[in-house]
Amino acid sequence: MVTARGRPGRGDPCQSAGVSAPNTANTTGADHDDHHSQYERRGINVEISVTVNGVTHTNDVEPRTLLVQYIREHVGLTGTNIGCDTSSCGACSIHLDGEAVKSCTLLAVQADGAAITTIEGMASADGTLHPMQQAFMENHGLQCGYCTPGMVMAATSLLKENPNPSEHDVRIGLEGNLCRCTGYHNIVQSVLACANK
């Protein structure tokens, strides 16, 4: 896994979380049928329970399911975007147990038992925007908006660690999040404005 700011984090999506596919070297005839029955016997899906924005979800998932896919396709929250699927862009940043992480770098099974916050969970129940969302709006910190959910999640985590960052600190802190519209100046100004509120 890679954290939202590009640092190594816990877990590794290349590890199969203890569930491995059967040997498929010979996939013809009776052996092929045997392999199918192995899947059935072993149960290819894994039950996980994850709290997302305060609501606990229990689902059967394939072990290969990425956390971002789980959030979008099983939980149904599509505010978390997929920009690259390869831990490069930060569009999929969420908070996992309070830390910003890139959710395409984790398997859903690795989040079993965790508490997740997505962009949908940032505003108050009455619709009042999170201060970081408000700062992005007031400082024109978004253009097409595709990177914005990930930027907001990474930026709030940044201010939690460093409540009074310099402009340089913000630029370094958000280096793992890319904006295809290249709106970095206003994104940085938004984060600084939020910090100075």
Question: Which residue, among 30, 111, 36, has the nearest Cα to 70 in the 3D structure?
Answer: 111
Query: Quick one: angle between helices 131-138 and 148-161, nearest 10?
Result: 120
Q: Does 186 sit near ligand FES (CB under 6 A)?
A: no
Q: Which residues, numbered 28-57, are part of the site for ligand FES (CB under 6 A)?
A: none
44 vs 181 by CB, closer to ligand FES: 181
Cα–Cα distance measured from residue 58 to residue 80, given in angstroms and rounded to the nearest whole number: 19
52 vs 148 by CB, closer to ligand FES: 148
Helix, strand, or coil here: 48?
Answer: strand
154 vs 192 by CB, closer to ligand FES: 154
57 to 96: interface string for ligand FES, x by CB under 6 A: -------------------------xxxx-xxxxxx----
Number of residues that bind ligand FES (CB under 6 A): 23
The two tokens of residue 32 are 């092929």
Cα–Cα distance measured from residue 10 to residue 23, given in angstroms and rounded to the nearest whole number: 28
- Tell me which residues touch ligand FES (CB under 6 A): 82-85, 87-92, 102, 104, 142-148, 179-181, 183
